[in-house]
Structure 1
Amino acid sequence: MKTSILGTLCLTVAAGLMSTSAIADTSDRRIALSNNYAGNSWRQAMLTSWEKVGGAAVSDGTVAAADAFTTAENQVTEQAAQIQNLILQGYNAIVINAASPEGLNGAVKEACDAGVVVVSFDGIVTEPCAYRIAVDFKNMGKVQVEYLAGRIDGGDLLEIRGLAGVFVDDEISAGIHEGVAENAQFKIQGSVHGDWAQDVAQKAVAGILPSLPEIKAVVTQGGDGYGAAQAFKAAGRPTPIIVMGNRHDELTWWKEQKDANGYETMSVSIAPGVSTLAFWVAQQVLDGKEVPQDLSVPFLKITQDTLEVSLANTQAGGVANVEYSLDDAKAVISGN
């Protein structure tokens, strides 16, 4: 699975040119993860990947610490206070999955002024001193509509959004609406927030379905496809094309429907292991390497043809994933 996913992500590693041995220059450096939210399977997988890769880096002496901290609520003020505490605790680098692109800029600037390296990913920050690892979330929304345009002649859509007020939610939704604007045969008839969680999405979809006409397709953000399918089933309505978000339960349901009646869709999300790329970027900056301030990585797409292999390599309750090695990170850095 790793080979196929890495191929999908277009990561080319030059064999023999990059060493994975411990880096003595960072062996006494401490890296912290500041995470704003952990209430769905993607975030849990992200934290697990961080702990796995960061823990190994501590064990082999590459860094002295790779600790993870998650705020109780998705609140800017709470995460800003957390970042300030990490500065006081003497961390040399802080990796951030941010509650807001702009709201944490003051705390991020404090960290930079204190000599702390700041790397943001997924939920990125706009403070110029920070490093950013971004996915083109807007395009991730737009490709869903483009996929539908190649499948059906048009029709009414239901949009399931993510966590309200978060940069990622706004960007994916903007891409979906841009795609609809360019494909006038589609119309969004309703929009609900599923918080990237199946149970929340199911309840939200069930609540809006009675007011909607026949829905031809559901555009999503990840962690909501299975919940949407269950809501349509419970309402006794035809199952539309539901774009999935790489979660195990979504892929399992898709495989069952594919085997039973040839159901076709696609699935797309950012790999939660992007946290490990952020870890290695922070380590490389601490090691004195020249790193671009802005890095980009592709999202992870699963098609009708790659469903079985993706599902077989996705942990139950988890998300299709790739974890980055130091070599992978160097390749991404040089590629950008």
Structure 2
Amino acid sequence: MKTLLLSAAAIAMAASGAHAETSGKRIALSNNYAGNSWRQAMLESWEAAGSAAVADGTVAAADAFTTSENQATEQAAQIQNMILQGYDAIVVNAASPTALNGAIKEACDAGLTVVSFDGIVTEPCAWRIAVDFKEMGRMQVEYLAGRIPEGGNLLEIRGLAGVFVDDEISAGIHQGVEEFPQFTISGSVHGDWAQDVAQKAVAGILPSLPDVVGVVTQGGDGYGAAEAFAAAGRETPLIVLGNRQDEMLWWAKQRDENGYETMSVSIAPGVASLAFWVAQQILDGADVPKDLTVPFLTVTQDTLDESLAATPEGSVASTSYELTDAKAVIEGAK
């Protein structure tokens, strides 16, 4: 009878989705930067997934830590401290694809699972979750070619210098210009994926630029660019946006007033919740490929109103990932 009762309890546990293998496991997030709306939304996504998983007993902890500056040395020290604190897995949004590899290897050698996402790492022992950032840059120029077939001068707004994401998106943009040589990148500034930084940077370069027909971006910078053009009294070019609520609100107003049309694209900050569940699945013994790819989130003229309505003020359009979604991404990669 005791055996039967135990079996029944095990069946009930399985049916409820409980994860006895990870109930005592502790997962930490190592984040290199939090200075824009995307990063804030990313941290909120982690908190939502992690706190729910702790509450239902799936894991014992899902703590988040952010470095004060985007410095690889500081983040490496943070990771080493997580090893000493006895975490079972570390999820990393990395300041550099290579500079953290030593600390990542230390974590792996100590028996920890390491999952990198967004800003991924190249250390072979770590898992990686990313979108095709290079394609995200290239497709912007392809879109502009469809809208402005005659071409013209482009302004490129880059992200945070030295970060993998910035390098990849920029490489894709330049590849796009090679494919569509009617365009020329006439100027480039770093906007740090932040509206205020981008606005100041664009305002500084505008006096030296010829007429600009399009602005290619990385996210968090489109509205700042629009404000800079307006303040300079220059005609608003076709600005590719990055799914931020303030950008989409500006876009909707411009559309209603003068028919302004563009597109918006970014990685969903909810990828943090996917990274959490991937780490949990690895700890639970699942066979997970080292490289997982997720689609970027695109907003079009047709989906603008729906996306804007679903995005909180000051935040970013996103997609949340549940455990079932993570399992589907893992299976799709096999």
TM-score (norm 2): 0.95
1:144 aligns with 2:154: no
1:293-320: CA deviation from partner (whole Å, max 9, x where unpaired)? 1100011001111000000000100000
Partner of 2:266 in structure 1? Answer: 269
Does the 8 Å contact 1:145/1:180 carry over to 2? yes
Partner of 1:178 in structure 2? Answer: 175
1:195 aligns with 2:172: no
Distance 1:147 1:273 in 2: 25
The one of 79, 92, 95 aligned to 2:91: 95
Question: How far apart are 1:22 and its partner, in Å?
Answer: 2.1
Partner of 1:110 in structure 2? Answer: 106
Distance 1:329 1:135 in 2: 15
Distance 1:274 1:82 in 2: 22
Partner of 1:56 in structure 2? Answer: 52
Distance 1:293 1:174 in 2: 24
1:221 aligns with 2:236: no
Partner of 2:43 in structure 1? Answer: 47
RMSD: 0.9
Partner of 2:76 in structure 1? Answer: 80
Percent sequence identity is: 77
Does the 8 Å contact 1:19/1:327 carry over to 2? no
Larger relative contact order (Cα-Cα within 8 Å, sequence gap ≥ 6): 1
Aligned AA for 1:320?
Answer: A
TM-score (norm 1): 0.94
1:139-164: CA deviation from partner (whole Å, max 9, x where unpaired)? 00000000001001201000000000
Q: Structure 1 residues 20 and 130 mapped into 2: Cα distance closer, same or farther (>3 Å)?
A: farther
Distance 2:235 2:130 in 1: 37
Describe the SS at the equivalent of 1:177.
Answer: helix
Partner of 1:127 in structure 2? Answer: 123
Aligned AA for 1:192?
Answer: V
Distance 1:154 1:43 in 2: 33
Corresponding residue pairs, total: 319
1:162 aligns with 2:162: no
Q: Which runs of 4+ in 1 moved over 4 A?
A: none
Question: How far apart are 1:134 and its partner, in Å?
Answer: 1.3
Question: How far apart are 1:282 and its partner, in Å?
Answer: 0.3
The one of 29, 33, 44 aligned to 1:33: 29
* Structure 1 unaligned residues grouped into runs of 5+: 1-17
Distance 1:100 1:195 in 2: 15
